[in-house]
Amino acid sequence: MGSLDSNPASFDAFAADAEGFQPLNADDVRSYLHKSVDFIYDYYKSVESMPVLPGVEPGYLSRLLQSAPPSAAAPFDIAMKELREAVVPGMTHWASPNFFAFFPATNSAAAIAGELIASAMNTVGFTWQANPAATEMEVLALDWLAQLLRLPDSFIMNRTSGGRGTGGGVILGTTSEAMLVTLVAARDAALRRIGSDGVAGITRLTVYAADQTHSTFFKACRLAGFDPANIRSVPTGPETDFAVDPAKLLEVMQADVDAGLVPTYICATVGTTSSNAVDPVGAVADVAAAFNAWVHVDAAYAGSACICPEFRHHLAGVERVDSISMSPHKWLMTCLDCTCLWVRDAHRLTGSLETNPEYLKNDASDSGTVTDLKDMQVGVGRRFRGLKLWMVMRTYGAARLQEHIRSDVAMAKMFEDAVRTDDRFEVVVPRNFALVCFRIKPHGGMTEEDAERANRELMEGLNRTGKAYIAHTVIGGKFVLRFAVGSSLQEERHVRSAWELIRKKTAEIMSGDKVSV
């Protein structure tokens, strides 16, 4: 039948297994991983002394490593050597305890272990059948975390009577994806509601968020096809500590309705990236209800804090929103990537995202008794992210997780207190969590422009030392320094050193500017 093999229906003609290349040879795996663990051990022991922000120039790496791929194999030690000598010196060390920029990427021994095991098992759990354990572990981890956050039962897949409610959750890679998939679900629902023929009605749909909302929200709106002219950035100001004013939101939405437009989606943020402002979730939900608009809560960073009773009030009203996402990779000691999304009505999401190709059909999916997580995300393939999140909660328990949040907040508060006791500085907005927004304030004859220049100089000078890394933002027109506590190796002494360095640099700048300090 087209084969030259004369030995029918048998494998006798197969050659004996050659001693070929074995990419997953267990001994090699163990050896490579042990070398990697040694590297990691050394890295954690020494990262504190490395410059947080490297002093490399663009293109540095291509000058150190070969520009063409090797044709022959090389011992793994070669890759490790180049990692040490070429890669590490060009790293921005997010794991450094002297990292105070952006939001920290928190991490833990249990999370890395979970990620490692998931990488080795390397399953692709797009459907329940493709990995029942991964799907169920993800559901369980989301259920546990929802309990820690005291989310209403309506968001939780297995909590209503009969086992399955309408709620559901999924672990995604980024908040942006959580926004995108919920935007698409809301978009499709609104199009149906207005009887749009296909997407023709999309030019009437409007979306809303405070001007402090992460830029990725506005990008996600464009990705989902919303008209740029219909993406509303609601102005905020110091009178609400840069949170959205529900009255203003109502006004903007009503004006749109009066103009024949269709309010479709509102994103409320609990802990903005810029300054940790908290939009009032319940009040936003109440405004949205009048317009039948989808409300999403982005609690990427501050959601983790809400596992502590003293911070949970920031989610008050969450039972009236449609979806909420938060990222344990930001502040719940789970390495990248891990963004949890819960929706109140999973069918609204899967209705827009479901696919059913023949090659993925199986009895379990057909039975309707299982969740196929591919139908709650952009892609099909998916890593076994539930394992690391579960391992973190299983190993540390609510107590340690809360202790960790509280410790970070306490360190941030101490930093804040120190800033407040130094007349040259001001804390620009109230500190809600572990981020302190401060600046050298105009004093001793300085103008606002002088202050901006001094703060830029302070940030850049500080970052150039390699001994600390802080970032900035602009709040209410002011150039502001962001000091984010929480890197997982951080202790009080690191915060203390950074503050001393800030004081020293500030003194230098002030004397250099011939401004008395």
Task: Choose which of 194, 250, 252, 471 interacts with a second copy (CB under 8 A).
Answer: 471
Smallest separation (angstroms) from a second copy to the CB of 210: 13
* SS3 at position 271: coil
Closest CA to 323 of 169, 207, 177, 213: 169
- Which residues in the 270-289 window bind a second copy by CB under 8 A? 273-274
Size of the site for a second copy (CB under 8 A): 198
Strands laid side by side in the 339-343 sheet: 168-172, 339-343, 323-326, 294-298, 262-269, 205-210, 231-234
Among 32, 359, 396, 469, which one carries the catalytic annotation? 359
């100001």: which residue's tokens?
A: 237
CA R_g for the chain: 26
- Which residues in the 33-92 window bind a second copy by CB under 8 A? 33-37, 39-41, 43-45, 53-54, 56, 58-62, 65, 67-76, 78-79, 82-83, 86-92
Task: Choose which of 52, 98, 100, 131 interacts with a second copy (CB under 8 A).
Answer: 131
Task: Choose which of 49, 132, 237, 504 interacts with a second copy (CB under 8 A).
Answer: 132
Smaller CB separation from a second copy, 102 or 254 = 102
Interatomic CA distance for residues 180 and 124, integer angstroms:
22
Both structure tokens of 231: 């993406």
- Which residues in the 173-232 window bind a second copy by CB under 8 A? 173-177, 180, 184, 187, 198-200, 202-203, 214-216, 218-220, 222-230
Task: Choose which of 153, 499, 515, 517 interacts with a second copy (CB under 8 A).
Answer: 499
By CB under 8 A, residue 378 contacts a second copy: yes
Smaller CB separation from a second copy, 222 or 313 = 222
Smaller CB separation from a second copy, 130 or 287 = 130
By CB under 8 A, residue 309 contacts a second copy: no
Smallest separation (angstroms) from a second copy to the CB of 426: 8
Q: What is the CB neighbour count within 10 angstroms for residue 294?
A: 25
Smaller CB separation from a second copy, 296 or 320 = 296
Smallest separation (angstroms) from a second copy to the CB of 30: 5
- Which residues in the 380-439 window bind a second copy by CB under 8 A? 380-383, 387, 390-391, 393-400, 403-404, 407, 414, 417-418, 420-423
- Which residues in the 472-491 window bind a second copy by CB under 8 A? 472-474, 482, 488-489, 491
Give ∠ CA 132-326-215 in degrees, rounded to 5.
125
Smaller CB separation from a second copy, 163 or 445 = 163
Task: Choose which of 49, 85, 120, 310 interacts with a second copy (CB under 8 A).
Answer: 120
Smaller CB separation from a second copy, 45 or 514 = 45
Which sign, positive or negative, has the C-alpha torsion 453, 454, 460, 464? positive
B/e letters for 337-353, b = 16+ CB within 10 Å, e = fewer, are: bbbbbbbbbbebbbebb
Both structure tokens of 389: 């999140």
Q: Which stretch binds a second copy (CB under 8 A): 289-297, 315-323, 442-450, 468-476?
A: 468-476
From residue 123, give the alpha-carbon distance in Å to each of 33, 36, 127, 137, 379.
19, 22, 11, 13, 15
CB-count exposure of residue 125 (10 Å: 0-12, 13-18, 19+): buried
Closest CA to 138 of 383, 386, 341, 380: 386
Task: Choose which of 50, 194, 252, 364 interacts with a second copy (CB under 8 A).
Answer: 364
């354990």: which residue's tokens?
A: 133
Interatomic CA distance for residues 30 and 24, integer angstroms:
10
Cis amide bond preceding 337, omega within 30: yes
Pairing of strands 262-269, 205-210: parallel
The answer to whether the beta carbons of residues 76 and 469 sit under 8 Å apart is no
By CB under 8 A, residue 258 contacts a second copy: no
Q: Which stretch binds a second copy (CB under 8 A): 237-245, 276-284, 286-294, 334-342?
A: 334-342
Smallest separation (angstroms) from a second copy to the CB of 290: 26
Q: Which stretch binds a second copy (CB under 8 A): 130-138, 233-241, 247-255, 288-296?
A: 130-138
359 is annotated as an active-site residue: yes
Strands laid side by side in the 478-484 sheet: 425-427, 435-440, 478-484, 471-475
Smallest separation (angstroms) from a second copy to the CB of 414: 6
Smallest separation (angstroms) from a second copy to the CB of 118: 8
Q: Which stretch binds a second copy (CB under 8 A): 167-175, 248-256, 285-293, 311-319?
A: 167-175
List residues with catalytic annotation: 359
